[in-house]
Amino acid sequence: MMNMAQHSLSVLDIPTKALQYQNKASLALALLFLFAVSCSQDPNIYASYETPPVVTTEDAADDPAIVINFDNPADSLIFGTDKKSGVYLYDLKGNELSYEALGNINNIDVRQTNDLVLVTATNRSIQAIEYWVFNQDDFFNHDRHTYIFSSAINSSTTLSAINIYGICMGLINSIPVAFVTEDMGPSVELWTLDNATLVGTFDNGGESEGCVFDDENQVLFISEEETNGVLKAYDLSIEFPFESPFIVDSREGNIGGDPEGVALYKTSATEGYVVLSSQGDNKYNLYNRNAPYAFITSFQISDQDGGIDGTSETDGISVSSFNFGGEFSKGLMVAQDGYNYDGDELKNQNFKIISFKEVLKKTNLDIDHKQTKKIYEAINIANAPCSWGVDYADDINNPDWKNVFKQIAEAGYSYCEIGPYGFLPKDFQETQNFLNDFNLNVVGGFIFDHLHPVSYTHLTLPTNREV
């Protein structure tokens, strides 16, 4: 365990990825005039299994979490919360194994390390962060039809200063941490779990619930609901505290209504996809796991004729790329269903279990990952002030810079090039705030200069280096 000061330093000391991002930005700039167009509509995916309805009526089921049985993958388990009463435990076919009335458990998340199962959740009955530690063997050998939480080898309940809402777990320097969001507020808390220490609080702009932490890349993905409706990415390797998130997507782009559940599908240690529940249009969006987090495609979970119904208005999701065998050999996804129908009869909410093999197949992502990388790194197109006639920063005929970037955003672009040095204000924060207002992400800039010295007296490379 580490004290608060030690932990803060450990976050700050993580090696920077700035050069990686520069390379990504360079690639995006090189592909500025290249883009790919999807030739098909959102594919329909069907659930393999579903859980029984939760006991509580109306809006109750909320967030799932997958626990992998490494020795017997087919015997892995799924947590599912009833945010009005407690936590369910299911097998991979959706069978209910146990239920515990732990209170208003909203969100739940899991990490597995050093033969331990670490579980954390938000308990809105008492505005507390719950944390349990299980021996992994005991967890899976436990009588599944009895209370699983009673077998924890350690547990804690920590009161929060905010009205807690969502939660996601992560590992920073092997230390289990939790990001906790605020109900009807913008605050997000960062806690260390083993010693229940509040590291700090930051402002995410508006009410947020769904989030996921990418342990390997040290990036927090978090959905902001309410007014803005955006998916954000905070890179812990280059900034702490968190003040300047990367805007991954918004309602102006590929998100319908509120962005909700967020999860990761890992194709390697550092690559893969971010999966987002786009609640307003009943879709699930896929993004590149690496910056600049390009949108790849979306899909729906649809009704089966005479079978399991699809999903709608999904809150929480959980995704794993682990090989569970059989139809789940390429992983699985668990999604909350806001309107659970049995034929024409509306039942209480439940969770759907989906083969990710089908997702990859029907989104054309089941080819070699190195090939897919080339595809989805070329699907975005940016625009630039030169399209508005801006070649030189000091041209008196230049249009107003704010109007240029406002029109870039209104034209549907989410990426931009910043034009000649001096066209934008040299006050970084002023420029950043304006671009954030329009959900624009910078992929590069340009300079007018000789790439070889006309004469040594006119060489201006030092100025360019500053730029």
Q: Is residue 22 part of a domain?
A: no
Torsion of CA 24, 29, 33, 38, to 10 degrees: 20
User: Which of 214, 207, 121 is closest to 160 using CA atoms?
Assistant: 121
Q: Is residue 93 part of a domain?
A: yes
In a domain, 180, yes or no: yes
In a domain, 355, yes or no: yes
DSSP 268: S
Closest by alpha carbon to 169, among 126, 239, 116? 116
Radius of gyration of the chain (CA): 24
Residue 32 lies in a domain: no
pLDDT tens-digit readout, 428-450: 677 877 887 777 878 777 666 65
Burial class (CB in 10 A: 0-12, 13-18, 19+), 361: middle
For 101, other C-beta atoms within 10 Å of its C-beta total 11
Co-location of 311 and 445 in the same domain: no
Full domain range(s) for residue 390 = 382-466
For residues 3 and 9, what is the distance between their CA atoms, to the nearest angstrom?
A: 10
Q: Per the domain annotation, does 267 fall within a domain?
A: yes
Instruction: Report residue 115 as tokens.
Output: 């033969």
**209 and 292, same domain (yes or no):** yes
Do 276 and 409 lie in a common domain? no
Q: Strands 77-82 and 49-50: what pairing?
A: unpaired
DSSP 85: T
Residue scoring higher pLDDT (82 or 447): 82
Whether residues 359 and 424 share a domain: the answer is no
Note the pLDDT of residue 26: 37
Residue at which a domain ends, from 313, 342, 376: 376
**Residues 306-355: pLDDT tens digits?**
899 999 999 999 999 999 999 999 999 999 999 999 999 999 999 999 99
What mean pLDDT comes out for the span 261-269?
A: 96
Where does residue 57 rank: exposed (0-12), middle (13-18), buried (19+ CB within 10 A)?
Answer: exposed
Cα separations (Å) of 129 from 108, 136, 148, 165?
Answer: 10, 21, 18, 10
End of a domain among 376, 411, 431? Answer: 376
Check residue 429 and give its pLDDT: 75
Whether residue 108 lies inside any domain: the answer is yes
User: Which of 376, 396, 426 is the last residue in one of the domains?
Assistant: 376
Same domain, yes or no: 210 and 289 = yes
Joined tokens for residue 364: 């054309």
Please state the domain count of the chain.
2
If DSSP codes are grouped into helix, strand and coil, which group holds residue 139? helix
- E strands, 315-467, in order: 317-320, 332-337, 340-342, 345-347, 350-355, 415-420, 441-446
Residue 38 has a pLDDT of 37
Residues 112 and 158 in one domain: yes
The answer to whether residues 209 and 330 belong to one domain is yes
Decide: 178 and 156 in contact? Cβ < 8 Å.
no
Cα distance between residue 243 and residue 249, in whole Å: 17
Looking at residue 226, its pLDDT comes to 79
Each residue of 30-46: pLDDT tens digit?
A: 333 333 333 346 788 99
Question: Are the C-beta atoms of residues 311 and 337 closer than 8 Å to each other?
Answer: yes
324 and 260 both lie in a single domain: yes
Measure the CA–CA gap between 121 and 132, rounded to whole angstroms: 9
Residue 1 lies in a domain: no
Secondary structure element (H or E) that encloses residue 370, with its range: helix 369-376
Residue 29's nearest CA partner among 448, 445, 385, 467 is 445
Question: Residues 202-251: pLDDT tens digits?
Answer: 999 999 999 999 999 999 999 999 778 999 999 988 766 677 899 999 99
∠221-436-423 over CA atoms, to 5°? 140
- By three-state DSSP, how is residue 25 classified? helix
Query: What are the tokens at 244?
Result: 């300047």
pLDDT digits over 141-161, tens only? Answer: 877 667 889 899 999 999 999
Q: What percent of the chain has pLDDT over 70?
A: 82
Q: Which residue has the tokens 């649809």?
A: 302
CATH of the domain at 50: 2.120.10.30
Q: Are 370 and 392 in a shared domain?
A: no
386 plus 367 within the same structural domain: no
For residue range 8-34, list pLDDT tens digits in order.
Answer: 323 333 333 333 333 443 333 333 333
